[in-house]
């Protein structure tokens, strides 16, 4: 039973991870500033759930990772850190690159600097976006990652580099996990699956980019959490792993699958391909399989069933009486 600090613990992935750690008996301290990138009400609901699951084993500090004193305080008596706090999302980073760099790069450095002990394992939530323009699918960890297509991607690559430097200087076991488009209940509302589901359910125009052939390697959140926990438990040296579903789904297929589950036709608003977006993401997960014993277990259709079940329940609960 360990005491784990989860930064971004009130968010989508952080709350699922915290739930899993609490369920296996760990103590979790979540640190999160409840950033208004999306409605903080959703983050407070996540925290409420974690309080129910964890009782006294769950603690929460509403604080910013750029606040060195708050980080130092949070890191007291901690056995491991999972760093997920970040400004996420490719497109918004193009509009506000300086803030993305401040939180994702400076914030990561401030947090790393407050870790006293060299034995504390550190897991960093990186992103498939680091592969940018350079990679040919499937993406392998050794591929060149110095051609990011957005400030967000550049900030995640910078985070990996800061992790490497910390490992070199202070020997902490550090693992960078490159998540491939994560989905499931409580997904961020601006992410494609959630946003499209909302548009379909409310009869609103659905932004349909390009010819619908762009493809994503969607990864179910429970599988991502499994990978994070394995990385935490087996931490040694410095390592980078892809965590992806290794199957791709095109935009066209995604919309059709959502229409079927929500029971309504989408109203498409056709738009050109977006700057910063990559045409395809697809993970080679051989390394995570060999070294962490990890593979994604949830087929996309099954994960989408679970997302839609959660989404429709929430819609019903929030519908005006």
Instruction: Tell whether residue 13 is a contact of ligand NAD (CB under 6 A).
Output: yes
Instruction: Tell whether residue 206 is a contact of ligand NAD (CB under 6 A).
Output: no
What x-and-dash track marks residues 101-130 binding ligand NAD by CB under 6 A? --x---x-----------------x-x---
# residues contacting ligand NAD (CB under 6 A) = 28
Ranges of beta strands (E only) in the chain are: 3-7, 27-32, 58-62, 80-83, 122-127, 174-179, 182-183, 205-209, 215-216, 219-220, 238-243, 249-250, 267-271
Instruction: Tell whether residue 288 is a contact of ligand NAD (CB under 6 A).
Output: no
When binding is defined by CB under 6 A, the residue of 20, 166, 188, 261 that contacts ligand NAD is: 188
Listed ranges 6-14, 133-141, 261-269, 278-286: which one lies at the site for ligand NAD (CB under 6 A):
6-14
Instruction: Tell whether residue 160 is a contact of ligand NAD (CB under 6 A).
Output: no
| CA angle, residues 263, 269, 272, in degrees to nearest 5 | 135
Listed ranges 34-42, 74-82, 109-117, 163-171: which one lies at the site for ligand NAD (CB under 6 A):
34-42
The CB-of-239 to ligand NAD minimum distance in angstroms stands at: 17
Q: How far is CA 267 from CA 52, 196, 200, in A?
A: 39, 10, 7
CA–CA distance, 219 with 240 (Å, rounded to integer):
17
DSSP 6-18: EETTTSHHHHHHH
- Selecting among 152, 218, 220, 241, the annotated active-site residue is 152
Listed ranges 62-70, 130-138, 262-270, 312-320: which one lies at the site for ligand NAD (CB under 6 A):
62-70
Listed ranges 29-37, 226-234, 252-260, 295-303: which one lies at the site for ligand NAD (CB under 6 A):
29-37
Q: Which is nearer to ligand NAD, 164 or 171 (CB)?
A: 164
The CB-of-320 to ligand NAD minimum distance in angstroms stands at: 26
When binding is defined by CB under 6 A, the residue of 4, 5, 11, 300 that contacts ligand NAD is: 11
DSSP 304: H
When binding is defined by CB under 6 A, the residue of 65, 154, 235, 304 that contacts ligand NAD is: 65
CA–CA distance, 226 with 274 (Å, rounded to integer):
32
Helix (H/G/I), strand (E/B), else coil: 149: coil
Contact between residue 308 and residue 197 where contact means Cβ atoms under 8 Å apart: yes
Listed ranges 83-91, 193-201, 274-282, 306-314: which one lies at the site for ligand NAD (CB under 6 A):
83-91
CA 270, distance to chain mean position in Å, is 27
The position carrying tokens 């902490």 is 172
Instruction: Tell whether residue 64 is a contact of ligand NAD (CB under 6 A).
Output: yes
Contact between residue 288 and residue 228 where contact means Cβ atoms under 8 Å apart: no
Strands 215-216 vs 249-250: parallel, antiparallel or unpaired: antiparallel
CA–CA distance, 7 with 64 (Å, rounded to integer):
9
Q: What are phi and psi of 287, to 5 degrees?
A: -65, -45
When binding is defined by CB under 6 A, the residue of 86, 90, 199, 262 that contacts ligand NAD is: 86
Q: Which is nearer to ligand NAD, 58 or 179 (CB)?
A: 179
For residue 203, how many other CB atoms are within 10 A of its CB? 11
Instruction: Tell whether residue 167 is a contact of ligand NAD (CB under 6 A).
Output: no
Active site includes 152?
Answer: yes
Instruction: Tell whether residue 215 is a contact of ligand NAD (CB under 6 A).
Output: no
Give the number of residues written for the chain. Answer: 321
The tally of CA atoms less than 13 A away on the side-chain side of residue 176 is 22
| CA angle, residues 189, 182, 4, in degrees to nearest 5 | 100
Catalytic positions = 152
Could you list the residues that contact ligand NAD (CB under 6 A)? 8, 10-14, 32-35, 37, 43, 64-66, 84-88, 103, 107, 125, 127, 179, 181-182, 188
């Amino acid at each position: 039973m360990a005491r784990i600090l989860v930064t971004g613990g009130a968010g989508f992935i952080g709350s699922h991870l915290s739930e899993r750690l609490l369920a296996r008996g760990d103590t979790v301290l979540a640190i999160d500033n409840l950033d208004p990138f999306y409605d903080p009400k959703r983050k407070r609901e996540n925290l409420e759930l974690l309080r129910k699951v964890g009782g006294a084993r769950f603690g929460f500090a509403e604080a910013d990772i750029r606040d060195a004193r708050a980080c130092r305080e949070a890191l007291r008596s901690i056995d491991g850190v999972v760093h997920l706090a970040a400004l996420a999302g490719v497109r918004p980073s193009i509009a506000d690159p300086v803030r993305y760099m401040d939180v994702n790069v400076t914030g990561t450095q401030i947090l790393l600097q407050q870790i006293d002990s060299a034995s504390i394992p550190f897991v960093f939530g990186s992103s498939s976006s680091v592969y940018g323009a350079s990679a040919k699918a499937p993406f392998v960890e050794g591929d060149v990652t110095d051609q990011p297509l957005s400030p967000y991607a550049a900030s995640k690559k910078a985070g990996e580099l800061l992790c490497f430097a910390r490992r070199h200087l202070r020997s902490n076991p550090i693992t960078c996990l490159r998540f491939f488009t994560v989905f499931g209940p409580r997904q961020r509302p601006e992410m494609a699956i959630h946003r499209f589901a909302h548009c379909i359910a409310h009869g609103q125009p659905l932004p349909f980019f390009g010819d619908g052939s762009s493809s994503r390697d969607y990864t179910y959140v429970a599988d991502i959490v499994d990978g994070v926990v394995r990385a935490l438990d087996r931490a040694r040296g410095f390592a980078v792993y892809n965590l992806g579903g290794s199957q791709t789904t095109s935009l066209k297929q995604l919309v059709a699958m959502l229409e079927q589950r929500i029971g309504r036709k989408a109203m498409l608003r056709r738009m050109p391909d977006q700057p910063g977006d990559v045409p395809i993401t697809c993970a080679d997960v051989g390394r995570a399989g060999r070294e962490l014993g990890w593979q994604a277990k949830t087929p996309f259709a099954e994960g989408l069933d679970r997302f839609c079940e959660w989404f429709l329940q929430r819609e019903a609960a929030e519908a005006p009486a």
